[in-house]
Amino acid sequence: MALLQISEPGMSTAPHQRQLAAGIDLGTTNSLIATVRSGQAETLSDLNGQHLLPSVIHYHADKAPVVGHDAYQYMANDSENTLSSVKRLLGRGKNDLKTLLGTLPYVFADTDSMVPRIKTVAGEVSAIEASAEILRVLKQRAEAILGDELSGVVITVPAYFDEAQRQATRDAAKLADLNVFRLLNEPTAAAVAYGLDKKEEGVIAVYDLGGGTFDISILRLNKGVFEVLATGGNSALGGDDFDHVIAEWVLAQAGLTHTDDKDLLRQLSVAARIAKEALSDSAEATLSLGNWQGVLDQATFQQLVEPLVKKTLKSCRRALRDAEISKNEIMDVVMVGGSTRMPYVRRRVGEFFERPPLIDIDPDRVVALGAAYQADVLAGNKPDGEMLLLDVIPLSLGIEMMGGLVEKVISRNTTIPVARAQEFTTYKDGQTAMSIHILQGERDTVETNRSLGKFILRGIPPLSAGVARIKVTFQVDADGLLNVSAEEASTGIKAQIEIKPSYGLTDNEIETMLRESMENAQGDMELRRLREVQVEADRVLEALDAAMQTDADALLDNIEKECLLEARQRLLEARQQDNHDVITNAMKALEKTAEFYVERRMNLSIKTAMSGHNVDEF
């Protein structure tokens, strides 16, 4: 999804009515809340001065769940009741669980509900409810510090989150009693924090290495529009894996490679993380295990983590290829996530993109800070004319026409909210109903687009084909919700449908659809020409049949009739062949043969018209 800046007049309020707003980074490992004060975004800390809230929830049998640092300590000895990384489950159905199950220590409940529920001592909870606990703590923190209720928040989500995952995030916010102004893509938020949205144009790479995930996003900024060109990464590669290779090294050094002492391994992984983080500031770190004690220096560390760093760069290369962007077209590289504090990671990323990455803003906080700037604008705290980021629709929206063709009503990358209307007409004489089939995609035919929904407009007055005027309006609101309505002009009868246009479509699927549309553009154009001439042939055949039924006996002799029927038969046969020229020729031949008949009908119709009747001309 991409974003566009516009000014939204009338949204601003007087300075003394300043609305409290916040940006929230709801992370897999850590979550944060930030707000803008005196024009500057800052993250808000807890009473101990901690800004990061570990995304960990510990459930108790007889009291409210504990979130954050205090929940952390239960990860080891009460893992079933201590939920972490619930973001991985957000918006996921039971079917998605199979691939995730092995990685999660929880006991899932056997329910009929599509949403998986985890068994805890406090009852069954879903990822949405668990996320709501995190959001609730952040909300309380902000309101305690700011001294009033938040008017609304911007919550960030990964660029690849699909509609279900985004909806689940919104649901969690609703449970936490938060008003969500908007969800914002994490890489876009990071770019906003660096003020890159103020630049005219350019391509930006956002390298996000967190605790358990790696995401690379390639964004194009053009006159205030952020468009996601490609996303990539690895949902099972992050800081934890760096800890793991250090732990393995320690075990090997201590001669303990075959231990299965769980407590020992857990302690070791904590020690490994501490050593890794220390190595971001110091030349070496000391580690011990039982009687063994050793020193991990930078050279050894770099050698250990090299395969992991290489993997991230491979994803970067692939994302660039998907985006059809070469390295030297990248204007800025933004570093996000705690793991980009590692100097070695920074160096390798800089070498890869051939330019120093942006590291001035704390990589833990950069996403929350960008979201806070956005929330501040959306709350109306900026003077008139201040820029506001808006989404654009990722794929074109259109409706099905005769012959299985798609007519685009709103084209891709149009800023939302948007409303577009187009007039359509009936295809047959006396047609009283019209089926409106809504499609999403870039290609020309129904089969190659994604069907979003259908509805029928009934009660159209029975007029000749092409006379009725049906206005079809597509309206997409700021959240991407599509409403399609159809209205017949003379009677005002109306029908409508509401759809989520990107429901279930991942960015990858969107990309695939776009790529296919480009690859097939030539073929599609030919197919469109063929379908159009087939529709035209059908129309001619139907009109001829209707005319002959009314007055052939009166206006034609037997030989003339036979001639016409033969030409008709030839067109009918040609129609079956998928060849544009064959159909066109047969149609021309029929039109030629029918010329005298059309002439006679016109004379007749003039006569009837003069005597007060009206007959449709052929």
**Which positions are annotated as active-site residues?**
25, 87, 186, 208
> From the list 117, 276, 365, 531, which residue makes contact with ligand ADP (rule: CB under 6 A)?
276
Binding of residue 239 to ligand ADP (CB under 6 A) = yes
- Residue 211 interacts with ligand ADP (CB under 6 A)? yes
Tell me how far apart the alpha carbons of residues 529 and 246 are, in angstroms, rounded to a whole number: 63
Contact partner at residue 273 from ligand ADP, Mg ion, none, CB < 5 to 8 Å by partner kind: ligand ADP
Q: At what angle are helices 558-576 and 595-610 packed, to 10 degrees?
A: 110
Contact with ligand ADP (CB under 6 A) among 277, 391, 444, 524:
277
Binds ligand ADP (CB under 6 A): choice among 280, 302, 422, 550: 280
| 128 versus 272: smaller Cβ distance to ligand ADP | 272
Least CB distance to Mg ion at residue 246 (A): 21
Residue 162 touches which member of Mg ion, ligand ADP, none, C-beta under 5-8 Å by kind: none
CB atoms within 10 A of CB 606: 12
User: Contact region for ligand ADP (CB under 6 A) — 193-201, 331-339, 463-471, 610-618?
Assistant: 331-339
Q: Which stretch binds ligand ADP (CB under 6 A): 130-138, 255-263, 334-342, 422-430?
A: 334-342
CB atoms near residue 109 (< 10 Å): 15
Residue 342 interacts, among ligand ADP, Mg ion, none and using kind-specific CB cut-offs from 5 to 8 Å, with ligand ADP
Residue 241 engages ligand ADP in binding (rule: CB under 6 A): no
Dihedral, CA of residue 62, residue 68, residue 74 and residue 79, to nearest 10: 90
Number of neighbouring beta carbons within 10 Å of residue 401: 16
Single out the segment in contact with ligand ADP by CB under 6 A; choices: 250-258, 274-282, 353-361, 465-473. Answer: 274-282
Residue 30 found at the interface with ligand ADP (CB under 6 A) = yes
Task: Name 435's bridge partners.
Answer: 456
Q: Give the list of residues 6+ apart from residue 116 with CB closer than 8 angstroms, or none.
A: 89, 92, 93, 94, 97, 108, 109, 126, 127
CB of 116 to Mg ion, least distance (A): 23
What distances in angstroms separate CA 500 from CA 162, 504, 505, one per listed residue?
Answer: 11, 9, 10
Which position among 27, 152, 238, 357 is part of the footprint of Mg ion (CB under 5 A)?
27
Select from 20-28, 238-246, 309-317, 508-516 the region that touches Mg ion (CB under 5 A).
Answer: 20-28
Question: Per-residue contact track with ligand ADP, 357 to 376, x per CB under 6 A?
Answer: -------x------------
Would you tell me how many other CB atoms lie within 10 Å of the CB of residue 254? 18
What 8-state DSSP symbol labels residue 9?
Answer: T
Near Mg ion by CB under 5 A: residue from 68, 210, 403, 501: 210
- With binding defined as CB under 5 A, does residue 233 bind Mg ion? no
Query: Could you tell me if 468 and 425 are in contact, meaning their C-beta atoms sit under 8 angstroms apart?
Result: yes
Residues 6+ positions from 289 with CB-CB distance below 8 Å: 250, 251, 254, 256, 264, 268, 271
**Omega of the bond leading into 417 within 30 degrees of 0 (cis):** yes
The listed partner (ligand ADP, Mg ion, none) that binds 213, CB under 5 to 8 Å by sort, is: ligand ADP
Q: What distance lies between CA 556 and its chain's CA centroid?
A: 62
Concatenated DSSP letters for 76-105? Answer: HH-GGGEEE-GGGTTT--HHHHHHHHTT--
Task: Confirm or reject binding of residue 501 to Mg ion (CB under 5 A).
Answer: no
Pick the stretch among 21-29, 145-153, 520-528, 537-545 that binds ligand ADP (CB under 6 A). 21-29
**In the complex, what is the shortest distance from the CB of residue 113 to ligand ADP, in angstroms, rounded to a whole number?**
27
Tokens 């020309």 belong to residue: 444
Dist CA 497 CA 483 (whole Å):
6
The distance between the two most distant Cα atoms of the chain, rounded to a whole number of Å, is: 114
131 in contact with ligand ADP (CB under 6 A) = no
Q: How far is the CB of 389 from ligand ADP (least distance, A)?
A: 21
Residues at the site binding ligand ADP, with contacts judged by CB under 6 A: 27-30, 210-213, 238-240, 273, 276-277, 280, 337-339, 341-342, 364
Residues at the site binding Mg ion, with contacts judged by CB under 5 A: 27, 210
